[in-house]
Amino acid sequence: MTIEQSLVTKHPQINQLISQEPIFWQNPDYGQRAELPFSKADIFDAVARWERFAPYLERVFPETASMDGVIESPLIELDQMKAQWNADHRQSLAGKLYLKADNELPISGSIKSRGGIYEVLKFAEEVAMANTDLAYMDDYSILATDQYKQLFAHYGIAVASTGNLALSVGIMAATFGFKTTVYMSHDAKQWKKDKLRANGVTVMEYQTNFSEVVSIARTAAQKDPTIHFIDDEGSTDLFLGYSVAAVRLQEQLKQHHIKVDRTHPVLVYLPAGVGGSPSGVTFGLKTIIGPYIHAVFCEPTHVPSVTLGMMTGLNNKISVYDIGLDGLTAADGLAVGRPSRLAGKVMRTLLFGCATFEDPTIYRYVTQLTDTQGITVEPSAAAGFTAIEPLIGHVPAFNSANATHIVWATGGSMMPESERQVNYAKGKALLENE
């Protein structure tokens, strides 16, 4: 499709998206009543499944033993980073600044450890229940035995990804023994492809964009009834896997003595690619924690797919290519031109707004986070920092001493040292030239 002038007239901020200007879009439907396709019960069903699988995860991934097989990341206060942020910006940040460090999540080192691993666990449970006498009250570490590995070898899992979802699904599926195929777009980093192949995953590479690759992968998987296709554009299991983060964050807010009420708002900044993981997290936050935690999605100016879909109300019926954008960004995990079928529909009343950023900005934040806190994230995971200034500029009430700002760091711990050094150097050069 090509963009209609009437759409631009109705939503004039599309002009800024076309010209690749960073914008802040505030959702006019935020907070309204809506019929949602999921409930609190769905979240707790997912929580229970994670708990059933904890003994298995502890057995096959020893790095999860210290958490008894639970996959979770810390909430880290960023005192020094906040001081650096305030030194760099005309408007100081009054409230506290935290990092939700999903860059440290075990197994695949990104937010995709939540949704991607969860959907593989659910499929493994379904296969085991259908073919053996596995019962819900069993010790699921039995699934690591040869008997089950031989069973799982008769089934396959396929997924399309720009990188991090591939790592989470690929590593988990291959560990169970599933025949695992990952379809990757031109945005995927070489080190992620190498890591997957080292884990016994078949990697199919395509010199085209993510949306095209999803279509190729979906068509291929449909030809074989033994293959389970994990659909990043519309999977409810992925979505609910991400939502569990809210149950864990609620406890962490309590541990940090962070209040969440009308006079103590919590602002959460989430990078968005196809929109599935930030939407799943946001659904969880609003359902579990309530109306005074507010989510903002962050996207590159070259690929503002969720922003465009939400702004126009067309969701997955419009892509960034329809408004003449190239869809290219250094933030590989965010290089998705068409949003999830689920994201916009569920976020219609739950998402506070969206902010877009220019690529160089995230490299600066990568370097500053390393220098101030000794924390390394991949470029797309620093996107949350870019939305703080536009948000408090648009909503001064959120810049109070009682507010808490949480940047969701979506990936980074599995990066090779050479990749870290390149990203750090890019940010350093940009900061020195300012």
* Structure confidence at residue 392 as a pLDDT band (50, 70, 90): very high
Q: Region 229-240: what's the mean pLDDT?
A: 96
Q: Region 236-245: what's the mean pLDDT?
A: 98
Q: Looking at the domain assignment, is residue 214 inside a domain?
A: yes
Residues 360 and 420 in one domain: yes
Residues 203 and 348 in one domain: no
Residues 424 and 306 in one domain: yes
Q: What is the pLDDT of residues 41-55, one digit of tens each?
A: 999 999 999 999 999
pLDDT beyond 60 at 1: no
Residues 313 and 380 in one domain: yes
Q: What is the CATH number of the domain that holds 179?
A: 3.40.50.1100
User: Domain residues for 191?
Assistant: 110-233
* Structure confidence at residue 4 as a pLDDT band (50, 70, 90): confident
Q: What pLDDT sits at residue 434?
A: 83
Residues 166 and 245 in one domain: no
Q: What is the pLDDT of residues 250-276, one digit of tens each?
A: 999 999 999 999 999 999 999 999 999
Q: Domain boundary at 233, 249, 265, which?
A: 233
Q: Is the pTM of this model over 0.85?
A: yes
**Scanning the structure block, which residue is given the tokens 């579990």?**
288
Q: Region 224-241: what's the mean pLDDT?
A: 96
* Structure confidence at residue 347 as a pLDDT band (50, 70, 90): very high
Q: What pLDDT sits at residue 386?
A: 98
Q: What is the pLDDT of residues 287-311, one digit of tens each?
A: 999 999 999 999 999 999 999 999 9
Q: Region 363-375: what's the mean pLDDT?
A: 98
Q: Which of 205, 124, 100, 121 shows the shortest CA–CA distance to 163?
A: 205
3-state secondary structure the chain: CCCCHHHHHHCCHHHHHHCCCCCEEECCCCCCCCCCCCCHHHHHHHHHHHHHHHHHHHHHCHHHHHHCCCCCCCEEECHHHHHHHHHHCCCCCCCEEEEEEHHHCCCCCECHHHHHHHHHHHHHHHHHHHHCCCCCCCCHHHHHCHHHHHHHCCCEEEEEECCHHHHHHHHHHHHHCCEEEEEECCCCCHHHHHHHHHCCCEEEECCCCHHHHHHHHHHHHHCCCCEEEECCCCCHHHHHHHHCHHHHHHHHHHHCCCCCECCECEEEEEECCCCHHHHHHHHHHHHHHCCCEEEEEEEECCCCHHHHHHHHCCHHHCCHHHHCCCCCCCCHHHCCCCCCCCHHHHHCCCCCEEEEECHHHHHHHHHHHHHHHCCCCCHHHHHHHHHHHHHHHHCHHHCCCCCEEEEEECECCCCCHHHHHHHHHHHHHHHHCC
Q: Region 193-201: what's the mean pLDDT?
A: 95
Q: What pLDDT sits at residue 143?
A: 98
Tally the domains of the chain.
Answer: 2
- Burial environment of residue 309 by CB neighbours within 10 A (0 to 12, 13 to 18, 19 or more): buried
Q: Region 168-174: what's the mean pLDDT?
A: 97
335 vs 73, residue with greater confidence: 73
pLDDT beyond 80 at 432: yes
Q: Domain boundary at 200, 233, 266, which?
A: 233
Residues 227 and 128 in one domain: yes
Q: What pLDDT sits at residue 3?
A: 75
pLDDT beyond 80 at 133: yes
Q: Looking at the domain assignment, is residue 334 inside a domain?
A: yes
* Structure confidence at residue 2 as a pLDDT band (50, 70, 90): low
Residues 200 and 265 in one domain: no
